Structure 1
Amino acid sequence: MPLSIFGFQALWSPYLIGVIIFLTVVYFLVTVVWRKDFKVSEPLKRSEAIYFVLAMILIYVIKGSPIDLMSHIMFTYHMVQMAFLLLLIPMLLIKGIPWWVWKVVVEAPVVRNVFKIFAKPVVAIFVFALMFSIYHIPLVFDTIKLDETLHGLFTFVLFLSAFFMNWPLIHDVKGQPQMKGLYKIGYIIANAIVITPACALIIFNPDPMYATYTDGETWLKAMELCVPISTLSGLTLSGPEIFNSLSPIRDQQMGGVLMKIIQEIIFAVVLYKVFIRWWREEKSNEDTITENALKEFQARKQSQQY
Protein backbone atom coordinates (compact mmCIF):
# COMPACT_ATOMS: atom_id res chain seq x y z
CA MET A 1 0.00 0.00 0.00
CA PRO A 2 1.48 3.41 -0.95
CA LEU A 3 2.38 5.99 1.70
CA SER A 4 0.54 8.65 -0.32
CA ILE A 5 -2.71 7.57 1.38
CA PHE A 6 -1.58 9.52 4.45
CA GLY A 7 -1.59 12.83 2.56
CA PHE A 8 0.90 15.57 1.71
CA GLN A 9 1.06 17.03 5.23
CA ALA A 10 2.06 13.73 6.80
CA LEU A 11 4.62 13.02 4.09
CA TRP A 12 6.35 16.39 3.78
CA SER A 13 5.57 18.43 6.93
CA PRO A 14 5.21 21.88 5.30
CA TYR A 15 5.13 23.60 8.71
CA LEU A 16 8.60 22.26 9.50
CA ILE A 17 9.89 23.69 6.23
CA GLY A 18 8.73 27.12 7.40
CA VAL A 19 10.43 26.70 10.78
CA ILE A 20 13.72 25.62 9.18
CA ILE A 21 13.70 28.52 6.72
CA PHE A 22 13.02 30.93 9.61
CA LEU A 23 15.88 29.50 11.70
CA THR A 24 18.26 29.68 8.74
CA VAL A 25 17.37 33.32 8.05
CA VAL A 26 17.87 34.21 11.73
CA TYR A 27 21.21 32.38 11.71
CA PHE A 28 22.60 34.47 8.83
CA LEU A 29 21.16 37.69 10.27
CA VAL A 30 22.92 37.07 13.59
CA THR A 31 26.23 35.85 12.18
CA VAL A 32 26.51 38.31 9.26
CA VAL A 33 24.19 41.33 9.49
CA TRP A 34 24.11 41.77 13.29
CA ARG A 35 27.63 40.48 13.96
CA LYS A 36 29.01 43.89 14.90
CA ASP A 37 26.48 44.19 17.74
CA PHE A 38 28.48 41.54 19.66
CA LYS A 39 31.36 42.67 21.86
CA VAL A 40 33.56 39.97 20.35
CA SER A 41 32.94 38.52 16.91
CA GLU A 42 34.59 37.15 13.80
CA PRO A 43 33.49 36.92 10.17
CA LEU A 44 31.35 33.86 9.51
CA LYS A 45 33.49 31.03 8.15
CA ARG A 46 32.33 29.10 5.14
CA SER A 47 32.74 25.82 7.04
CA GLU A 48 30.48 27.08 9.83
CA ALA A 49 27.74 28.06 7.37
CA ILE A 50 28.02 24.67 5.67
CA TYR A 51 27.76 22.80 8.98
CA PHE A 52 24.65 24.76 10.00
CA VAL A 53 22.90 24.40 6.65
CA LEU A 54 23.67 20.67 6.67
CA ALA A 55 22.13 20.43 10.15
CA MET A 56 18.96 22.17 8.96
CA ILE A 57 18.70 19.94 5.89
CA LEU A 58 19.27 16.82 7.96
CA ILE A 59 16.63 17.88 10.51
CA TYR A 60 14.10 18.20 7.72
CA VAL A 61 15.12 14.90 6.10
CA ILE A 62 14.69 12.88 9.30
CA LYS A 63 11.78 14.81 10.85
CA GLY A 64 9.92 16.29 7.89
CA SER A 65 10.31 13.93 4.95
CA PRO A 66 8.62 10.50 4.52
CA ILE A 67 11.39 9.09 6.72
CA ASP A 68 9.57 10.52 9.74
CA LEU A 69 6.34 8.82 8.66
CA MET A 70 8.20 5.55 8.13
CA SER A 71 9.73 5.86 11.61
CA HIS A 72 6.19 5.40 12.97
CA ILE A 73 5.67 2.34 10.80
CA MET A 74 9.02 0.55 11.04
CA PHE A 75 11.29 0.44 14.09
CA THR A 76 14.29 0.33 11.72
CA TYR A 77 13.52 3.84 10.48
CA HIS A 78 12.97 5.04 14.05
CA MET A 79 16.46 3.94 15.10
CA VAL A 80 18.08 5.45 12.01
CA GLN A 81 16.22 8.68 12.80
CA MET A 82 17.46 8.57 16.41
CA ALA A 83 21.05 7.90 15.32
CA PHE A 84 21.25 11.02 13.17
CA LEU A 85 19.19 13.18 15.55
CA LEU A 86 21.28 12.33 18.62
CA LEU A 87 24.75 11.64 17.25
CA LEU A 88 25.28 13.83 14.18
CA ILE A 89 22.96 16.85 14.28
CA PRO A 90 24.24 18.11 17.68
CA MET A 91 27.80 18.01 16.32
CA LEU A 92 26.80 19.95 13.20
CA LEU A 93 25.01 22.60 15.27
CA ILE A 94 27.92 23.00 17.70
CA LYS A 95 30.37 23.37 14.82
CA GLY A 96 28.00 25.45 12.68
CA ILE A 97 27.25 28.18 15.21
CA PRO A 98 30.34 30.44 15.67
CA TRP A 99 32.14 30.26 19.00
CA TRP A 100 31.43 33.92 19.77
CA VAL A 101 27.68 33.29 19.51
CA TRP A 102 27.97 30.22 21.74
CA LYS A 103 30.01 32.30 24.19
CA VAL A 104 27.10 34.69 24.70
CA VAL A 105 24.70 31.76 25.13
CA VAL A 106 26.75 29.68 27.58
CA GLU A 107 27.71 32.69 29.70
CA ALA A 108 24.11 33.85 30.18
CA PRO A 109 23.18 33.82 33.93
CA VAL A 110 20.88 30.77 34.01
CA VAL A 111 22.47 28.88 31.11
CA ARG A 112 25.92 29.22 32.70
CA ASN A 113 24.87 27.15 35.70
CA VAL A 114 23.26 24.50 33.49
CA PHE A 115 26.43 24.10 31.44
CA LYS A 116 28.59 23.89 34.57
CA ILE A 117 26.68 20.78 35.59
CA PHE A 118 25.53 18.99 32.44
CA ALA A 119 28.51 19.79 30.18
CA LYS A 120 30.93 17.98 32.48
CA PRO A 121 32.13 14.92 30.53
CA VAL A 122 31.25 12.30 33.15
CA VAL A 123 27.82 13.82 33.83
CA ALA A 124 27.11 14.29 30.12
CA ILE A 125 27.86 10.64 29.28
CA PHE A 126 25.85 9.33 32.23
CA VAL A 127 22.78 11.49 31.56
CA PHE A 128 22.72 10.63 27.85
CA ALA A 129 23.08 6.89 28.48
CA LEU A 130 20.35 7.07 31.14
CA MET A 131 17.92 9.03 28.96
CA PHE A 132 18.53 6.81 25.92
CA SER A 133 18.02 3.65 27.95
CA ILE A 134 14.87 4.91 29.69
CA TYR A 135 13.40 6.03 26.38
CA HIS A 136 13.69 2.53 24.93
CA ILE A 137 12.14 0.70 27.88
CA PRO A 138 9.01 -0.81 26.26
CA LEU A 139 6.51 0.63 28.76
CA VAL A 140 8.06 4.09 28.56
CA PHE A 141 8.48 3.97 24.80
CA ASP A 142 4.88 2.93 24.10
CA THR A 143 3.51 5.49 26.56
CA ILE A 144 5.50 8.33 24.99
CA LYS A 145 4.53 7.32 21.45
CA LEU A 146 0.84 7.55 22.34
CA ASP A 147 0.95 11.10 23.69
CA GLU A 148 2.00 14.02 21.48
CA THR A 149 3.02 16.26 24.39
CA LEU A 150 5.06 13.55 26.13
CA HIS A 151 6.67 12.56 22.85
CA GLY A 152 7.73 16.11 22.02
CA LEU A 153 8.97 16.82 25.55
CA PHE A 154 10.94 13.61 25.96
CA THR A 155 12.46 13.89 22.48
CA PHE A 156 13.59 17.44 23.28
CA VAL A 157 15.13 16.37 26.60
CA LEU A 158 16.83 13.42 24.91
CA PHE A 159 18.21 15.76 22.24
CA LEU A 160 19.52 18.12 24.93
CA SER A 161 21.28 15.22 26.66
CA ALA A 162 22.87 14.32 23.31
CA PHE A 163 23.90 17.95 22.82
CA PHE A 164 25.64 18.06 26.21
CA MET A 165 27.24 14.70 25.49
CA ASN A 166 28.79 16.10 22.30
CA TRP A 167 29.65 19.54 23.70
CA PRO A 168 32.94 18.69 25.54
CA LEU A 169 34.14 16.85 22.47
CA ILE A 170 33.31 19.39 19.75
CA HIS A 171 33.11 22.95 21.09
CA ASP A 172 35.88 25.54 20.69
CA VAL A 173 34.42 28.36 22.80
CA LYS A 174 37.18 30.48 24.26
CA GLY A 175 37.11 30.63 28.06
CA GLN A 176 35.19 27.35 28.39
CA PRO A 177 36.79 24.12 29.71
CA GLN A 178 38.59 22.23 26.95
CA MET A 179 39.41 18.54 26.93
CA LYS A 180 42.93 17.51 25.94
CA GLY A 181 43.36 15.39 22.83
CA LEU A 182 44.14 12.17 24.66
CA TYR A 183 41.11 12.59 26.94
CA LYS A 184 38.91 13.17 23.91
CA ILE A 185 39.98 9.82 22.49
CA GLY A 186 38.95 8.08 25.71
CA TYR A 187 35.72 10.09 25.78
CA ILE A 188 34.79 8.94 22.27
CA ILE A 189 35.41 5.31 23.19
CA ALA A 190 33.27 5.71 26.31
CA ASN A 191 30.48 7.28 24.24
CA ALA A 192 30.58 4.32 21.87
CA ILE A 193 30.13 1.95 24.80
CA VAL A 194 27.38 3.61 26.86
CA ILE A 195 24.42 2.84 24.60
CA THR A 196 25.63 -0.66 23.74
CA PRO A 197 23.58 -2.36 26.52
CA ALA A 198 20.33 -0.76 25.30
CA CYS A 199 21.08 -1.67 21.68
CA ALA A 200 22.06 -5.20 22.68
CA LEU A 201 18.76 -5.64 24.52
CA ILE A 202 16.90 -4.53 21.40
CA ILE A 203 18.96 -6.70 19.04
CA PHE A 204 19.05 -9.93 21.05
CA ASN A 205 15.59 -9.88 22.62
CA PRO A 206 13.79 -12.97 21.24
CA ASP A 207 10.40 -11.22 21.15
CA PRO A 208 9.09 -7.92 19.73
CA MET A 209 9.24 -5.33 22.50
CA TYR A 210 7.05 -2.44 21.38
CA ALA A 211 3.26 -2.52 21.01
CA THR A 212 3.34 0.63 18.87
CA TYR A 213 4.96 -1.44 16.11
CA THR A 214 3.11 -4.74 16.59
CA ASP A 215 -0.41 -4.12 17.89
CA GLY A 216 -2.72 -2.68 15.21
CA GLU A 217 -4.88 -0.57 17.52
CA THR A 218 -1.92 0.83 19.47
CA TRP A 219 -0.05 1.53 16.23
CA LEU A 220 -2.98 3.51 14.79
CA LYS A 221 -3.09 5.61 17.94
CA ALA A 222 0.66 6.26 17.67
CA MET A 223 0.27 7.30 14.03
CA GLU A 224 -1.67 10.35 15.21
CA LEU A 225 1.71 11.91 16.06
CA CYS A 226 2.44 12.48 12.39
CA VAL A 227 -0.85 11.93 10.51
CA PRO A 228 -3.91 14.19 10.97
CA ILE A 229 -6.74 12.38 12.80
CA SER A 230 -9.15 13.38 10.02
CA THR A 231 -6.97 11.49 7.52
CA LEU A 232 -6.61 8.39 9.71
CA SER A 233 -10.35 8.21 10.36
CA GLY A 234 -10.97 7.79 6.64
CA LEU A 235 -8.57 4.85 6.27
CA THR A 236 -9.07 1.17 6.97
CA LEU A 237 -5.74 -0.14 8.25
CA SER A 238 -5.02 -3.32 10.18
CA GLY A 239 -1.47 -2.57 11.27
CA PRO A 240 2.07 -1.60 10.17
CA GLU A 241 2.63 -4.98 8.50
CA ILE A 242 0.82 -3.78 5.36
CA PHE A 243 3.72 -1.34 4.75
CA ASN A 244 6.53 -3.52 6.11
CA SER A 245 7.91 -6.70 4.53
CA LEU A 246 10.02 -7.52 7.61
CA SER A 247 8.63 -9.44 10.56
CA PRO A 248 8.39 -7.41 13.81
CA ILE A 249 11.37 -9.17 15.36
CA ARG A 250 13.54 -8.72 12.24
CA ASP A 251 12.52 -5.07 12.06
CA GLN A 252 13.49 -4.61 15.71
CA GLN A 253 16.85 -6.34 15.25
CA MET A 254 17.61 -4.36 12.11
CA GLY A 255 16.91 -1.12 13.94
CA GLY A 256 19.28 -1.96 16.79
CA VAL A 257 22.04 -3.05 14.41
CA LEU A 258 21.77 0.05 12.21
CA MET A 259 21.85 2.30 15.29
CA LYS A 260 25.19 0.79 16.33
CA ILE A 261 26.61 0.82 12.80
CA ILE A 262 25.77 4.51 12.28
CA GLN A 263 27.14 5.35 15.71
CA GLU A 264 30.41 3.54 15.03
CA ILE A 265 30.84 5.25 11.65
CA ILE A 266 30.22 8.73 13.07
CA PHE A 267 32.50 8.18 16.06
CA ALA A 268 35.19 6.58 13.87
CA VAL A 269 35.31 9.76 11.76
CA VAL A 270 35.43 11.98 14.85
CA LEU A 271 38.05 9.74 16.48
CA TYR A 272 40.23 9.98 13.36
CA LYS A 273 40.02 13.78 13.31
CA VAL A 274 40.70 14.07 17.05
CA PHE A 275 43.66 11.69 16.83
CA ILE A 276 45.21 13.53 13.87
CA ARG A 277 44.80 16.87 15.63
CA TRP A 278 46.26 15.49 18.85
CA TRP A 279 49.20 13.93 16.98
CA ARG A 280 49.98 17.18 15.22
CA GLU A 281 49.84 19.13 18.49
CA GLU A 282 52.13 16.62 20.17
CA LYS A 283 54.51 16.76 17.22
CA SER A 284 54.49 20.55 17.29
CA ASN A 285 55.12 20.61 21.04
CA GLU A 286 57.90 18.07 20.63
CA ASP A 287 59.64 20.24 18.03
CA THR A 288 59.23 23.32 20.21
CA ILE A 289 60.68 21.57 23.25
CA THR A 290 63.64 20.30 21.21
CA GLU A 291 64.28 23.73 19.73
CA ASN A 292 64.17 25.43 23.14
CA ALA A 293 66.48 22.81 24.63
CA LEU A 294 68.95 23.31 21.77
CA LYS A 295 68.92 27.10 22.23
CA GLU A 296 69.46 26.68 25.97
CA PHE A 297 72.38 24.30 25.35
CA GLN A 298 74.02 26.68 22.86
CA ALA A 299 73.58 29.65 25.25
CA ARG A 300 75.12 27.68 28.09
CA LYS A 301 78.03 26.59 25.89
CA GLN A 302 78.73 30.17 24.85
CA SER A 303 78.66 31.38 28.46
CA GLN A 304 81.18 28.71 29.42
CA GLN A 305 83.56 29.85 26.67
CA TYR A 306 83.55 33.36 28.07
Structure 2
Amino acid sequence: MEYLVHGWHWHIEGIIPLILFYQGYLVGIGPLRRHFGWAETVESRQVVAFSAGVLLIFLALFSPIHELADSLFSAHMVQHMMLVVLMPPLLLLGTPSWLLRPCLRLLSAKRLLRWLAHPMRAFILFNLVLIMWHFPIFYNATLRNVFVHEIQHVSLMITSVLVWWPILSPMPEIRRLSYPAQMVYLFLLAIVQTPLFAILTFSDHLIYSVYSGTQVGNISAVADQQMGGVIMKLVSAVAFMLAITITFFKWFGGEERREAQQTGLSNLSQARDS
Protein backbone atom coordinates (compact mmCIF):
# COMPACT_ATOMS: atom_id res chain seq x y z
CA MET A 1 0.00 0.00 0.00
CA GLU A 2 2.89 2.34 0.73
CA TYR A 3 4.04 1.98 -2.88
CA LEU A 4 0.59 3.00 -4.15
CA VAL A 5 0.71 6.23 -2.16
CA HIS A 6 4.36 7.22 -2.23
CA GLY A 7 5.57 5.39 -5.32
CA TRP A 8 4.73 8.11 -7.83
CA HIS A 9 7.78 9.92 -9.19
CA TRP A 10 7.68 12.91 -11.52
CA HIS A 11 11.04 12.57 -13.28
CA ILE A 12 11.33 15.90 -15.05
CA GLU A 13 13.55 14.49 -17.82
CA GLY A 14 10.79 12.03 -18.71
CA ILE A 15 7.51 13.73 -17.92
CA ILE A 16 8.22 16.89 -19.95
CA PRO A 17 8.97 15.01 -23.22
CA LEU A 18 5.86 12.89 -22.69
CA ILE A 19 3.68 15.97 -22.12
CA LEU A 20 5.15 17.65 -25.22
CA PHE A 21 4.63 14.48 -27.24
CA TYR A 22 0.96 14.26 -26.30
CA GLN A 23 0.42 18.01 -26.62
CA GLY A 24 1.95 17.88 -30.10
CA TYR A 25 -0.53 15.17 -31.05
CA LEU A 26 -3.50 17.18 -29.76
CA VAL A 27 -2.33 20.32 -31.57
CA GLY A 28 -1.78 18.28 -34.74
CA ILE A 29 -5.26 16.73 -34.78
CA GLY A 30 -6.86 20.03 -33.74
CA PRO A 31 -5.61 23.50 -34.74
CA LEU A 32 -2.99 22.35 -37.28
CA ARG A 33 -5.41 19.96 -38.98
CA ARG A 34 -7.94 22.74 -39.44
CA HIS A 35 -5.33 25.33 -40.47
CA PHE A 36 -3.66 23.21 -43.15
CA GLY A 37 -6.78 21.30 -44.18
CA TRP A 38 -5.18 17.90 -43.57
CA ALA A 39 -8.56 16.29 -42.87
CA GLU A 40 -12.13 17.33 -42.22
CA THR A 41 -12.45 15.30 -39.02
CA VAL A 42 -10.46 13.02 -36.76
CA GLU A 43 -11.92 9.71 -35.65
CA SER A 44 -12.66 9.64 -31.93
CA ARG A 45 -11.47 6.02 -31.69
CA GLN A 46 -8.04 7.13 -32.90
CA VAL A 47 -7.84 9.79 -30.20
CA VAL A 48 -8.89 7.24 -27.58
CA ALA A 49 -6.31 4.70 -28.79
CA PHE A 50 -3.46 7.21 -28.85
CA SER A 51 -4.42 8.61 -25.45
CA ALA A 52 -4.49 5.08 -24.01
CA GLY A 53 -1.01 4.47 -25.41
CA VAL A 54 0.31 7.64 -23.79
CA LEU A 55 -1.40 6.69 -20.52
CA LEU A 56 0.39 3.32 -20.59
CA ILE A 57 3.73 5.09 -21.01
CA PHE A 58 2.88 7.36 -18.08
CA LEU A 59 1.84 4.47 -15.82
CA ALA A 60 4.86 2.38 -16.78
CA LEU A 61 7.42 5.12 -16.17
CA PHE A 62 6.00 7.29 -13.39
CA SER A 63 3.62 5.16 -11.33
CA PRO A 64 4.55 2.82 -8.44
CA ILE A 65 5.28 0.16 -11.08
CA HIS A 66 8.51 1.99 -11.87
CA GLU A 67 9.42 2.19 -8.19
CA LEU A 68 8.75 -1.52 -7.68
CA ALA A 69 10.81 -2.37 -10.76
CA ASP A 70 13.94 -1.34 -8.86
CA SER A 71 13.25 -4.08 -6.31
CA LEU A 72 11.26 -6.71 -8.21
CA PHE A 73 12.22 -8.25 -11.54
CA SER A 74 8.58 -9.24 -12.06
CA ALA A 75 7.47 -5.60 -11.72
CA HIS A 76 10.16 -4.59 -14.21
CA MET A 77 8.77 -7.12 -16.69
CA VAL A 78 5.24 -5.78 -16.19
CA GLN A 79 6.65 -2.37 -17.02
CA HIS A 80 8.39 -3.69 -20.14
CA MET A 81 5.28 -5.52 -21.36
CA MET A 82 3.31 -2.28 -21.06
CA LEU A 83 5.92 -0.44 -23.15
CA VAL A 84 6.74 -3.17 -25.67
CA VAL A 85 3.56 -5.21 -26.22
CA LEU A 86 0.59 -3.03 -25.24
CA MET A 87 1.62 0.55 -26.00
CA PRO A 88 2.86 0.33 -29.64
CA PRO A 89 -0.39 -0.97 -31.22
CA LEU A 90 -2.36 1.77 -29.48
CA LEU A 91 -0.07 4.55 -30.71
CA LEU A 92 -0.11 3.21 -34.27
CA LEU A 93 -3.89 2.75 -34.29
CA GLY A 94 -4.28 6.28 -32.95
CA THR A 95 -2.02 8.03 -35.46
CA PRO A 96 -3.73 9.31 -38.64
CA SER A 97 -1.64 9.08 -41.81
CA TRP A 98 -2.33 12.74 -42.59
CA LEU A 99 -0.69 13.73 -39.30
CA LEU A 100 2.32 11.45 -39.70
CA ARG A 101 3.26 12.58 -43.22
CA PRO A 102 4.09 16.23 -42.39
CA CYS A 103 5.97 15.11 -39.27
CA LEU A 104 8.15 12.80 -41.34
CA ARG A 105 8.70 15.51 -43.97
CA LEU A 106 9.72 17.96 -41.26
CA LEU A 107 12.26 15.48 -39.89
CA SER A 108 13.28 14.18 -43.35
CA ALA A 109 12.72 10.73 -41.88
CA LYS A 110 10.32 9.02 -44.28
CA ARG A 111 13.03 7.10 -46.15
CA LEU A 112 14.67 6.04 -42.88
CA LEU A 113 11.34 4.88 -41.46
CA ARG A 114 10.57 2.88 -44.60
CA TRP A 115 13.96 1.16 -44.27
CA LEU A 116 13.66 0.45 -40.55
CA ALA A 117 10.03 -0.67 -40.73
CA HIS A 118 10.77 -3.38 -43.28
CA PRO A 119 9.37 -6.56 -41.67
CA MET A 120 12.64 -8.50 -41.63
CA ARG A 121 14.75 -5.60 -40.36
CA ALA A 122 12.18 -4.55 -37.74
CA PHE A 123 11.82 -8.16 -36.55
CA ILE A 124 15.57 -8.68 -36.17
CA LEU A 125 16.24 -5.26 -34.64
CA PHE A 126 13.50 -5.58 -32.02
CA ASN A 127 14.53 -9.04 -30.91
CA LEU A 128 18.22 -8.17 -30.80
CA VAL A 129 17.51 -5.12 -28.63
CA LEU A 130 15.17 -7.04 -26.33
CA ILE A 131 17.58 -9.94 -25.86
CA MET A 132 20.61 -7.67 -25.48
CA TRP A 133 19.03 -5.80 -22.57
CA HIS A 134 18.46 -9.11 -20.79
CA PHE A 135 22.13 -10.04 -20.75
CA PRO A 136 23.15 -9.65 -17.09
CA ILE A 137 25.91 -7.11 -17.78
CA PHE A 138 23.46 -4.75 -19.52
CA TYR A 139 20.44 -5.46 -17.34
CA ASN A 140 22.34 -4.86 -14.10
CA ALA A 141 23.67 -1.60 -15.54
CA THR A 142 20.13 -0.29 -16.13
CA LEU A 143 19.32 -0.39 -12.42
CA ARG A 144 22.66 1.06 -11.38
CA ASN A 145 22.69 3.97 -13.82
CA VAL A 146 19.64 6.14 -14.53
CA PHE A 147 20.95 7.23 -17.94
CA VAL A 148 21.43 3.62 -19.07
CA HIS A 149 17.93 2.81 -17.80
CA GLU A 150 16.47 5.62 -19.89
CA ILE A 151 18.36 4.42 -22.96
CA GLN A 152 16.91 0.96 -22.38
CA HIS A 153 13.34 2.22 -22.23
CA VAL A 154 13.70 4.50 -25.26
CA SER A 155 15.33 1.79 -27.39
CA LEU A 156 12.69 -0.77 -26.41
CA MET A 157 9.83 1.63 -27.20
CA ILE A 158 11.25 2.68 -30.58
CA THR A 159 12.01 -0.85 -31.76
CA SER A 160 8.67 -2.15 -30.49
CA VAL A 161 6.81 0.47 -32.54
CA LEU A 162 8.90 -0.55 -35.55
CA VAL A 163 8.16 -4.26 -35.07
CA TRP A 164 4.41 -3.57 -34.94
CA TRP A 165 4.57 -1.31 -38.02
CA PRO A 166 4.19 -4.09 -40.65
CA ILE A 167 0.95 -5.07 -38.89
CA LEU A 168 -0.56 -1.65 -38.16
CA SER A 169 1.15 0.85 -40.46
CA PRO A 170 -0.91 4.06 -40.54
CA MET A 171 0.54 4.96 -43.96
CA PRO A 172 -0.30 3.31 -47.29
CA GLU A 173 3.16 4.40 -48.51
CA ILE A 174 4.73 2.04 -45.96
CA ARG A 175 2.46 -0.89 -46.59
CA ARG A 176 1.24 -3.47 -44.14
CA LEU A 177 1.92 -7.13 -44.75
CA SER A 178 -0.87 -9.17 -46.30
CA TYR A 179 -3.15 -10.84 -43.76
CA PRO A 180 -1.61 -14.32 -44.16
CA ALA A 181 1.90 -12.84 -43.86
CA GLN A 182 0.81 -10.88 -40.78
CA MET A 183 -0.30 -14.08 -39.05
CA VAL A 184 3.03 -15.79 -39.79
CA TYR A 185 4.92 -12.69 -38.63
CA LEU A 186 2.98 -12.52 -35.36
CA PHE A 187 3.40 -16.24 -34.76
CA LEU A 188 7.17 -15.94 -35.18
CA LEU A 189 7.19 -12.98 -32.79
CA ALA A 190 5.35 -15.10 -30.24
CA ILE A 191 7.82 -17.99 -30.36
CA VAL A 192 11.21 -16.41 -31.08
CA GLN A 193 11.57 -15.11 -27.52
CA THR A 194 10.61 -18.43 -25.94
CA PRO A 195 14.23 -19.38 -25.07
CA LEU A 196 14.61 -16.13 -23.12
CA PHE A 197 11.35 -16.69 -21.25
CA ALA A 198 12.32 -20.30 -20.53
CA ILE A 199 15.71 -19.35 -19.10
CA LEU A 200 14.11 -16.81 -16.77
CA THR A 201 11.26 -19.09 -15.75
CA PHE A 202 13.14 -22.32 -15.13
CA SER A 203 16.48 -21.06 -13.83
CA ASP A 204 17.08 -22.15 -10.23
CA HIS A 205 19.69 -19.47 -9.56
CA LEU A 206 19.62 -15.68 -9.61
CA ILE A 207 20.67 -14.35 -13.01
CA TYR A 208 20.69 -10.63 -12.17
CA SER A 209 22.92 -9.80 -9.22
CA VAL A 210 21.36 -6.35 -8.94
CA TYR A 211 18.39 -8.00 -7.20
CA SER A 212 20.48 -9.99 -4.72
CA GLY A 213 20.09 -7.41 -1.97
CA THR A 214 16.46 -6.50 -2.59
CA GLN A 215 13.35 -8.25 -1.37
CA VAL A 216 9.71 -7.23 -1.15
CA GLY A 217 7.57 -9.20 1.26
CA ASN A 218 8.34 -12.92 1.40
CA ILE A 219 9.22 -13.27 -2.30
CA SER A 220 12.71 -14.62 -2.88
CA ALA A 221 14.78 -13.11 -5.68
CA VAL A 222 14.77 -16.40 -7.63
CA ALA A 223 10.99 -16.84 -7.30
CA ASP A 224 10.52 -13.23 -8.39
CA GLN A 225 12.75 -13.85 -11.41
CA GLN A 226 10.72 -16.92 -12.35
CA MET A 227 7.49 -14.96 -11.96
CA GLY A 228 8.89 -12.30 -14.28
CA GLY A 229 9.57 -14.92 -16.95
CA VAL A 230 6.01 -16.22 -16.66
CA ILE A 231 4.59 -12.69 -16.93
CA MET A 232 6.60 -11.99 -20.07
CA LYS A 233 5.49 -15.22 -21.72
CA LEU A 234 1.82 -14.92 -20.78
CA VAL A 235 1.38 -11.27 -21.73
CA SER A 236 3.21 -11.57 -25.04
CA ALA A 237 1.49 -14.87 -25.92
CA VAL A 238 -2.00 -13.51 -25.18
CA ALA A 239 -1.32 -10.26 -27.06
CA PHE A 240 0.12 -11.92 -30.14
CA MET A 241 -2.51 -14.67 -30.27
CA LEU A 242 -5.24 -12.04 -29.94
CA ALA A 243 -3.64 -10.11 -32.80
CA ILE A 244 -3.45 -13.29 -34.90
CA THR A 245 -7.14 -14.02 -34.21
CA ILE A 246 -8.21 -10.50 -35.18
CA THR A 247 -6.07 -10.67 -38.33
CA PHE A 248 -7.57 -14.04 -39.27
CA PHE A 249 -11.13 -12.75 -39.04
CA LYS A 250 -10.21 -9.65 -41.06
CA TRP A 251 -8.72 -11.91 -43.73
CA PHE A 252 -11.67 -14.31 -43.62
CA GLY A 253 -14.15 -11.43 -43.82
CA GLY A 254 -12.30 -9.95 -46.77
CA GLU A 255 -12.31 -13.29 -48.59
CA GLU A 256 -16.05 -13.65 -48.01
CA ARG A 257 -16.70 -10.14 -49.37
CA ARG A 258 -14.60 -10.83 -52.47
CA GLU A 259 -16.40 -14.11 -53.04
CA ALA A 260 -19.76 -12.38 -52.68
CA GLN A 261 -18.70 -9.67 -55.14
CA GLN A 262 -17.50 -12.27 -57.65
CA THR A 263 -20.75 -14.19 -57.27
CA GLY A 264 -22.73 -11.01 -57.78
CA LEU A 265 -20.77 -10.10 -60.90
CA SER A 266 -21.19 -13.63 -62.25
CA ASN A 267 -24.95 -13.53 -61.67
CA LEU A 268 -25.15 -10.11 -63.32
CA SER A 269 -23.23 -11.37 -66.34
CA GLN A 270 -25.50 -14.41 -66.64
CA ALA A 271 -28.58 -12.20 -66.38
CA ARG A 272 -27.32 -10.00 -69.22
CA ASP A 273 -26.52 -13.01 -71.41
CA SER A 274 -30.01 -14.39 -70.89
When structure 1 is superposed on structure 2, of 56-65 and 75-84 the one drifting more is: 56-65
Contact 1:74 1:244 in 2 (8 A): no
Query: What is the correspondence of 1:1-306 to structure 2 with a 5 Å cutoff?
Result: 2-3=2-3, 8=6, 11-13=8-10, 15=12, 19-38=17-36, 40-106=38-104, 110-214=108-212, 216=213, 240-241=214-215, 243-299=216-272, 301-302=273-274
Cα displacement (A) at 1:105: 3.4
Letter in 1 for 2:224: D
Contact 2:83 2:156 in 1 (8 A): no
Contact 2:165 2:176 in 1 (8 A): no
For residues 75 and 226 of structure 2, what CA distance do their matches in structure 1 show?
Answer: 12
Cα displacement (A) at 1:17: 5.2
Give the corresponding residue for 1:225. Answer: none
Contact 2:119 2:166 in 1 (8 A): yes
Letter in 2 for 1:188: L
How large is the Cα RMSD of the aligned pairs? 2.3
Secondary structure of the equivalent of 2:109? helix
Percent identity between the two aligned chains? 23
Letter in 2 for 1:250: A
Structure 1: give runs of 5+ residues left out of the alignment: 217-239
Distance 1:68 1:104, change over 3 A: same
For residues 112 and 21 of structure 1, what CA distance do their matches in structure 2 show?
Answer: 24
Contact 2:48 2:94 in 1 (8 A): yes
The TM-score normalised by the length of structure 1 is 0.82
Letter in 2 for 1:12: H
For residues 14 and 131 of structure 1, what CA distance do their matches in structure 2 show?
Answer: 24
Contact 1:138 1:209 in 2 (8 A): yes
Distance 1:67 1:283, change over 3 A: same
For residues 298 and 38 of structure 1, what CA distance do their matches in structure 2 show?
Answer: 49
Distance 1:139 1:84, change over 3 A: same
When structure 1 is superposed on structure 2, of 264-273 and 135-144 the one drifting more is: 264-273
Cα displacement (A) at 1:289: 1.3
Contact 1:127 1:161 in 2 (8 A): yes
Secondary structure of the equivalent of 2:42? coil
Secondary structure of the equivalent of 2:171? coil
Distance 1:14 1:136, change over 3 A: closer
Cα displacement (A) at 1:208: 0.6
Distance 1:61 1:273, change over 3 A: same
| Count of matched residue positions in the alignment of Structure 1 and Structure 2 | 273
The TM-score normalised by the length of structure 2 is 0.90
Secondary structure of the equivalent of 2:175? coil
For residues 146 and 178 of structure 2, what CA distance do their matches in structure 1 show?
Answer: 41
Structure 2: give runs of 5+ residues left out of the alignment: none
For residues 89 and 178 of structure 1, what CA distance do their matches in structure 2 show?
Answer: 19
Cα displacement (A) at 1:287: 0.8
Q: Which has the larger radius of gyration?
A: 1
Describe the superposition over 1:244-276 as per-residue Cα deviations: whole angstroms up to 9, x where unpaired: 421111100000101111112222322222122
For residues 40 and 2 of structure 1, what CA distance do their matches in structure 2 show?
Answer: 48
When structure 1 is superposed on structure 2, of 37-46 and 198-207 the one drifting more is: 37-46
For residues 26 and 184 of structure 2, what CA distance do their matches in structure 1 show?
Answer: 35
Secondary structure of the equivalent of 1:12? coil
